[in-house]
Structure 1
Amino acid sequence: MAHAVSEPAGRTSDRGPSSDVRQAAAGIANNDWGERAARTGIAARGLAFLVLAYLVVRIALGALGDGGTSKTASGPGVAQAVAAQTGGQVMLFVLGIGLLLYALFLALDAVRHHDDASSDWKRWLERVEPLFGCLLYIAFGAYCLVRVFTDTSKGQSARQSDRQQTQWSAEVLRWPAGWLWLGGLGVVLFVIAAVQLKRGVKRNFEDELEVGRMGRHIRSIATGLGIGGHVGRALMFGIVGWFVLGAAVENDPRKGKGVDGAARMLANSAFGPTLLAVLAAGLAAFGLYQFVEAKYRKV
């Protein structure tokens, strides 16, 4: 196992969380079952992105008059799409457990790693991303499990999702200097997009892979999927950031969209279906890359 931590028991590290917490996290990650759980979680994330890519494709096809979808291109939409398949309840249960395992992996990653950063602020900043992701996937995984044991016949429609996004944007715009808060969120999304783009173009994701275990052919596939996947995620964050920033600048909550709302607005533009096809390809590439990570990720 990579990145093993060895610090004297009872001693507090000046470079991150206490040694007791770090050693406990290392004990879980270095356990065979802990490693299997982490890899299962990464694979579950890959499945979620593949379903998301499928929903984006359906939105694009709907704009071309060839069978759209009322399911949202979002976490709830992904859960709804999985549940609608044959054996969907079992699949959704497995997906929910997998996403919770991925959240655990992110929490362990935040505690154990990132001590090689050049400064304290950068070290803690690098921990923010996995911790935020941990909370996000806990919510997503819990949502999937709740849907398994509740009525799954009534999923959130695209219209309901769009209404909620508009109401949320309108609420923020009613805050003091609300346009500034909403615009700040748009800027943050652009920054995330830039980070993802840099990560893909510079192939930084390869630092997290056990490349020594990979043959030349597998490594080429992993590199291609990793570049395409991170560029796809950058496009996703950039598109949403564009609409959120537009809502702030024009003081129009109807333009503050998430992935689903942005995709549906784009679908009705001249080059929207083409752009959505590119986005779907990138998201699918990222989903497939997660399966490569599930086998070769340093955990």
Structure 2
Amino acid sequence: MTTNAADGMERAGRQVAGHKAFHVFCRSGLVARGVLYLLIGWLAVQIGLGDGGREADKQGALQTVADRPGGTAMLWLLAAGFAGLALWRFSEAAFGQPTADGRKATKRLASFGRGVFYSAGFATMLNFVLGQGGNSSNEQSKTYTARAMEHPGGRWLVLAVGVGFLAWGVGSVVGAVRRKFLERLNTGRMGPRTRTVVKTLGVVGRASRGVVFGGVGVFLGYAAVTFDPGKAKGLDGTLRQFAGTPAGPWLLIVVAAGLLVFGVYSFCEARWRKVEAVRNGVRGRRRTGRRRGGARRLLPQVR
């Protein structure tokens, strides 16, 4: 591929990532994520209260939607939303996150990882809508772990994935406590009370999600260390383990309430999250150029 062709493709990609319609598509994905976590949180609350008939994971949430009137249409909207989430994250990986250090390699790599994560979620939803169903998160985790361990080095791959989930979970908790997520929100468009509410929802919701996914990582790591795929657990299995602690079902209910809060916070992100891709540097900066006579003029940044 020639340099001119590559530059043309990059310009086209930036134009798409900077288009208002693409931003709406991204925000619709945050709404879909919020709906999904509200459903998962509610199913987990029911498990804590003694009704453990349906898995508190993506499959259980999708089945809950499918059982309602208009469920098929809603499932298609959720799938489209997760496609938007994946494309948004991949655009950040390509062009940078809309933060001061958004072009750093670590930030772009993190966006790529989230893009892969949301792509898997989209594939799961698409299979479900097309009638191919799917196993619960626990069964999927055990199956994939067993298949990986059949190959040389597979045990270490499982361990690496477990460490990745654990690191993601710990990072989410630390970032929530330090309010790092506020850097990615347009807080200047919020009133003082709204900002306080959104900050509280973000701290509680993001920390709760971090605890859960950190737990998923711990069980994957345990399965790798013991060379026992049966030790791996998905989202549902991890949540149910909270009910097996000395605190009993109440700890599960507290964690489930945190996931409900994260669902509500996702709607706040849909309203105020910065989704614009970086263009030629940090988002929000303006490019400068020379006028005749040495004067400088400002070129508006694509929003």
TM-score range, shorter chain: 0.7 to 0.9
Give the Cα separation in 1 of the matches to 2:122 and 2:154. Answer: 31
Residues 19, 221 of structure 1: alpha-carbon distance in 2 compared, 3 angstrom cutoff: farther
The aligned residue for residue 94 of structure 2 is 111
Residues 173, 135 of structure 1: alpha-carbon distance in 2 compared, 3 angstrom cutoff: closer
- Is 1:286 matched with 2:262? yes
* Match of residue 191, structure 2, among 215, 219, 225: 215
How far off its partner does 1:248 sit? 2.8
Could you list the runs of 5+ residues in structure 2 that have no partner in the other structure?
276-303
Q: Render the CA deviation track for 1:265-287: whole Å, top value 9, x for unaligned.
A: 44344334222222212222221
The aligned residue for residue 47 of structure 1 is 35
Give the Cα separation in 2 of the matches to 1:238 and 1:149. Answer: 31
* Match of residue 297, structure 1, among 264, 273, 282: 273
How far off its partner does 1:141 sit? 2.5
Residues 220, 179 of structure 1: alpha-carbon distance in 2 compared, 3 angstrom cutoff: same
Moved more, 41-50 or 124-133: 124-133
The aligned residue for residue 86 of structure 1 is 69
How far off its partner does 1:116 sit? 5.2
Give the Cα separation in 1 of the matches to 2:88 and 2:139. Answer: 34
Q: Render the CA deviation track for 1:32-81: whole Å, top value 9, x for unaligned.
A: 3222222112111111111121222222223xxxx2223x3333332222
How far off its partner does 1:166 sit? 2.8
Q: Render the CA deviation track for 1:234-283: whole Å, top value 9, x for unaligned.
A: 10122112222222333332211111122234434433422222221222
Give the Cα separation in 2 of the matches to 1:284 and 1:131. Answer: 26
How far off its partner does 1:92 sit? 0.9
* Match of residue 253, structure 1, among 209, 229, 233: 229
The aligned residue for residue 184 of structure 1 is 160
- Is 1:34 matched with 2:22? yes
| Counterpart contact for 1:77–1:156, Cα < 8 Å | no
Give the Cα separation in 2 of the matches to 1:276 and 1:191. Answer: 22
The aligned residue for residue 297 of structure 2 is none
Give the Cα separation in 2 of the matches to 1:146 and 1:189. Answer: 24
- Is 1:96 matched with 2:79? yes
Residues 191, 162 of structure 1: alpha-carbon distance in 2 compared, 3 angstrom cutoff: closer
Letter in 2 for 1:95: L
- SS in structure 1 at match of 2:49: helix
Residues 103, 156 of structure 1: alpha-carbon distance in 2 compared, 3 angstrom cutoff: closer
Bigger radius of gyration, 1 or 2?
Answer: 2
How far off its partner does 1:219 sit? 0.6
Residues 37, 166 of structure 1: alpha-carbon distance in 2 compared, 3 angstrom cutoff: closer
Residues 223, 164 of structure 1: alpha-carbon distance in 2 compared, 3 angstrom cutoff: closer
- In the superposition, the TM-score normalised over structure 2's length comes to 0.79
The aligned residue for residue 69 of structure 1 is 53
How far off its partner does 1:188 sit? 2.0
Residues 146, 183 of structure 1: alpha-carbon distance in 2 compared, 3 angstrom cutoff: closer
| Counterpart contact for 1:59–1:263, Cα < 8 Å | no
Residues 21, 273 of structure 1: alpha-carbon distance in 2 compared, 3 angstrom cutoff: farther
Give the Cα separation in 2 of the matches to 1:19 and 1:262. Answer: 46
Residues 256, 145 of structure 1: alpha-carbon distance in 2 compared, 3 angstrom cutoff: closer
- In the superposition, the TM-score normalised over structure 1's length comes to 0.79
Cα RMSD for the two superposed structures: 2.7
How far off its partner does 1:192 sit? 1.1
| Counterpart contact for 2:172–2:206, Cα < 8 Å | yes
Residues 148, 204 of structure 1: alpha-carbon distance in 2 compared, 3 angstrom cutoff: same
How far off its partner does 1:202 sit? 1.0
| Counterpart contact for 2:93–2:108, Cα < 8 Å | yes
